[in-house]
Each structure stands twice: as C-alpha cells, then as structure tokens.
Amino acid sequence: MLKKVIGILCVSCIVFAGAYLVMEREVEPEPAIVDSPKVIAHRGANDRFNESTITAYKIAAEDGVDALEIDLRMTADGALIAMHDETIDRTTNGTGNATDYSLQEIKELETSEVFGEQRTMEEIPTLREILETFRDTEHYYIETRLVHGELVMEEPLIELLLEYDLLSQDLVTIQSFSEESLEKIQTLAPEIPLTLLFGKEKFNLKKSKDV
C-alpha cells in the first residue's frame, strides 16, 4: 500500500440561509494544503516548442516554473527517453511504438511541430540528457509506466537519479497511473514523494483514500 501520495483536496463550502433566522459562528480556518499554487511544465513549454524536448524544457526553466514534467518511455535496448505517447507517430517524423526502436534508431528521428507557419525539428532526448542539462537546478516531476505490462523502468530510473544526486536534495516527484510502478519506486527509494494518477472518468475516491 502506498504510504506517500501527493493529492489534491477540493473543499466545497455550503452556506445555509434561512428566511427568518441566520446563525453565525466563528470557524477555525483550515490550514492551506500548499503555501501557493505550483506551476508544473507539462512536457516543457509545449506552447512554444516541440513537447518533451531539451529546448521546450529550457524555455520552461527560463520562465521559472516549479517543476519540469517528463513522461518516460523505454527503448528496445533499455534507454529511458522523454516521450508521452506509446507511439512516436504524433510528435516525430517516424512511426510505430517507441519500445520497438533502439536508442540509436530513436536518435535518427526528430520531433516535428509547426508553430505559426514555421516547422521546428529537434531530436528526442533521453532522460540522462535532460538531467545532464539541468542537474540540480530544477525539480523533476517524472511519470513512470509499465513496459509491456512489466516493471522494468523503475530500477534504471532510480539508479540515474542517484547518479545525479537528486534524491538527497528532494528534487524529484514520481507520478504514475500504475500503482504497481509506484509501489516498486517506494521499495527502491522510500523518500520520493509519489502521485497516483487517474484517467478521465476513472477516478476512484475509495482507492484514493486507501492509499
């Protein structure tokens, strides 16, 4: 069972008003969940450059965001890359599943997007390249997932984060739709804050409270 899960609590205030009677009482304010809202750059500054690229993350970092959000996929030879979709069709000049490509083959492709009337191209980055670029200057909000239904990206991910000494500095949060992946992460590195994600129309309040 997950012990450390970051959640968002929505509180509704209902005011009962009577036609002839108004009851007032002092209520102790609830403590704030956070001091201020956090800005997380989902796939980088994807409003201005190709999503999940070094340039998109640099733009977001220059804007002073609180965290860089990185969706992970794993190549056929075990490299962790920044890629949201299961396939590379939407964001690159290639086709097919990311897991069917070796890292060398992935590097022969480029992300491709049009902003205004200009097409921009940039290679698909590995997680290592992103960490090498920013090191301890940013907080990383990383999404894990199962690979062909297996827990295979968690160990190399933790090894990489330890190599860059990010865990001891509290610079990483891990999110996932997979409870199994988060449980594996918790076993490997209990200190990492975790976020359990729910798909659209799949939210389960009981499960949220249980974790």
Secondary structure of 97-147 in the HEC alphabet? EHHHCCHHHHHCCCEEEEECCEEEEECCCEHHHHHHHHHHHCCEEEEECCE
Is residue 149 in a domain? Answer: yes
Flag residues of the chain having pLDDT under 70.
Answer: 1-27, 29-34, 205-211
CA angle (88, 183, 32) in 5-degree steps: 95
pLDDT in tens, 154-164: 999 999 999 99
Contact 5, 207 (CB under 8 A): no
Lookup: tokens for 82: 């920044």
| 131 phi and psi angles, rounded to 5 deg | -65, -35
Domain coverage including residue 125: 40-210
Lookup: tokens for 174: 């891990």
Which are the catalytic amino acids? 42, 84
What single-letter amino acid sits at 78? G
Is residue 185 in a domain? Answer: yes
For the chain, the maximum distance between any two Cα atoms, rounded to a whole number of angstroms, is 76
Lookup: tokens for 131: 């960490």
User: What total number of domains does the chain contain?
Assistant: 1
pLDDT for 202: 72
Domain CATH number, residue 152: 3.20.20.190
User: What's the number of CA atoms in the CB half-sphere (13 Å) around residue 74?
Assistant: 18
What does pTM read for this prediction?
A: 0.83
Instruction: Return the DSSP state at 150.
Output: B
Strand partners, 40: 67
